[in-house]
Chains A and B, each alone.
Chain A
Amino acid sequence: MKFKIVPIGEQALNIVFPEKIDVRENQLIHNLAASLKQQSHLGIVDLIPAYHTLTVNFDVGLTDFEQLSRQLETFIQAEKTTEITAASQRVVEIPVCYGGQYGPDLTAVAKFAELTPQQVIALHCQQPYYVYFLGFLPGFAYAGFVPDKIAMPRLQQPRLKLAAGSVGIAGKQTGMYPVASPGGWQIIGQTPLKLYDPTNPLPPYHAGDWLQFKAITAADFDQIQQASIAGKYQVKTYRLSETKGAN
């Protein structure tokens, strides 16, 4: 695959792949990040995968841009691209209570799509969404993509506060706010899962996973929320090969 390496300062560089949003390309980036994590002799201190880039932080006490970029060129070219199969990919199920107080913009999205709210929910839950990367907030997934029909643009005026767990649509993107935050997404529902816990800040999914939303009732919402807060809710995961309609 084509790539170039550019500096971002004296302690970081970007490995840049062709600029596109593409599941296969992005999966290769996550695989590369995982193998680089094993190469402790390179002086790498952190890695930030995004859509088409892999940002590498390094320690100038151990290496520098010249040396590391040369080593990375060789490493990437020698790297065997392992086949990414549906059986090797993970789907994480996110229960969502749609509409009403949980999803104040569901009716607006239905109107935009010229569908009933029920049909919008069915479309949103119809397929798993690929998580390209996490950023903005811990556990905030840049995931997609929703069917064109419900791809409603962001609100004109962002809301000052969205509840933690709010599930929304912003154009073709979909995802959830792990913590209460201002935001301009069309909020169609809310997940009862505690996605961010400051004492254990890593989310139950990571970049390269797929998210499958599942509609639940308000009663389920309360029950799952209590279990999740108590740390007793086991997030459901399965293999992509066990789902229908994944890309």
Chain B
Amino acid sequence: MQTAIEILKPGLASTIQDAGRWGYQAFGVPVSGAVDDFSLQLANLLVGNSPEKAGIEFMLLGPAIKFHCPTFIAVTGGSCQPALNQKQIELNRAYQVTAGDVLTFKPMKQGRFGYLAVAGGVKTPAILASRSTTSRLQLGGLKGKLLADGDFLPLQPTYQLASLQWRHCDLPVQTPTKELQLRFIKGPQWASFSTAAQEMFCQQQFQISTQADRMGYRLSGSKLPIPANSMLSEGTVTGNVQITRSGQPIVLLADRQTAGGYPVIGTICAVDLPLLVQAGMKQRLRFQEISVADATKLLRQRIQFLQQLAATFQRQRYQLPIGPQQIAGQRIAQLFEA
């Protein structure tokens, strides 16, 4: 039997993503990687992986997946209602699966992107040291494509995971909000915008438009006056808010081009970017400026949060219940419930 997971139904825009293809932007190769990097990192930690391992990203509807070998899984991101063998399972919690188990999803109630991590990570071939998919360039993933039914993704069978019962994380539930607050740092072209444009950017309400994908989200709102002089193209960064010639913002995301010629008014804080990415169409939002030092502090707190979580799992391996007997218990309990 092949040690793999089999895609029974592809879901929507399902791709293999990891922490991205870093180191080749000078050749024009986009970074890609999980568009909600935090959710993939969390999913990885839950199954005992280092945060940069490759998992499956999907949009609005997850794939149906059959496991052909034992492993451990965790689902994070949008509320995608995962079910293992038709029994609902929780988000942000590790589960053991065995050969023959089937994982399915329902359409997301909230959020846009979901993530599935498997112990050891998905082992499709790495290109330029990354397994991330950039589908418009047929790069990475499985032949550079969105996942399709009948695809087999190789993985390493895993039989044990320390402190399985403790591997969960209670994240604050993201409830729908009338207006999302996104913190940003002034961008490299901030000063070339007029005071009026700067004030409009900080004060007016924007809305996520229908043009939103892994490359970027276009926002709509009152048009900003644009700088009179055009600029020379320069490198782009994920979270950049470019103002196009029409005066509307585009937020650049994982699949962004490496260089761009639109002025960047600001860059959304790394910790707030997943909030934008997971927000639905027509979500209203407002920008709020913070300092580089504060944004750095926030991002470091997030890194620490994940490191502490991983350390907690390490410590809990010595707490009862220990080891596989508990997994057997979990299985037996399921039998009685059924």
Q: Which residues of A contact B (CB under 8 A)?
A: 6-12, 14, 16, 19, 21, 33, 45-55, 57, 60-61, 64-66, 133-140, 142, 179, 196, 198-203, 206-207
Contacts and interface: CB of A to CB of B under 8 A. Distances in A.
B188 A16 contact: yes
Interface string B1-44: 00000000000000000000011111111110000000000000
B258 A8 contact: no
Interface of B: 22-31, 127-128, 137-140, 144, 185-188, 231-237, 239-240, 257-259, 264, 267-270, 292-293, 295-296, 298-300, 303
Q: Is the interface of A mostly helix, strand, loop or mixed?
A: loop
A154 to B, nearest CB: 13
Given A9-B237, A48-B235, 20 more contacts: A8-B188, A8-B267, A9-B268, A9-B270, A19-B232, A47-B25, A48-B25, A48-B26, A48-B259, A50-B234, A51-B233, A53-B235, A57-B237, A134-B28, A134-B258, A135-B28, A142-B233, A198-B127, A199-B127, A201-B128
A33 B28 contact: no
Nearest to A47: B26
Given A48-B258, A139-B28, A65 B232 contact: no
B270 A201 contact: no
Given A140-B28, A201-B127, A10 B137 contact: no
A50 B264 CA distance: 15
B139 A65 contact: no
B251 to A, nearest CB: 12
B26 A207 contact: yes
A221 to B, nearest CB: 24
B137 A135 contact: no
A55 B233 contact: no
B28 A10 contact: no
Contact of B269 (A10, A48, A52): A10
Contacts of A179: 137
Given A45-B22, A201-B27, A11 B259 contact: no
Contact of B27 (A50, A51, A206): A206
A65 B26 contact: no
B240 A8 contact: yes
Contacts of B23: 45-46
B234 A14 contact: yes
A21 B232 contact: yes
Contacts of A46: 22-26, 31
Contact of B267 (A9, A134, A136): A9
A140 to B, nearest CB: 5
Given A11-B299, A46-B25, A198-B144, A135 B257 contact: yes
A179 B139 CA distance: 12
A139 B258 CA distance: 11
Which 5 interchain pairs have the tightest Cβ spacing? A55-B235, A135-B259, A48-B235, A9-B267, A10-B295
Contacts of B24: 46, 201-202
Contacts of A201: 24, 27, 29, 127-128, 137, 139
8 contacts: A9-B267, A47-B26, A65-B293, A134-B26, A135-B235, A138-B137, A179-B137, A202-B27
A142 B257 CA distance: 14
Contact of A6 (B139, B144, B188, B299): B188
A133 B259 contact: yes
A10 B296 contact: yes
Contacts of A8: 185, 187-188, 237, 240, 264, 267
B300 A137 contact: no
Contacts of B299: 10-11, 60
B292 A134 contact: no
Contacts of A16: 188
A207 B29 CA distance: 13
Nearest to A65: B292
Contacts of A51: 232-234
Nearest to A45: B22
A97 B49 CA distance: 51
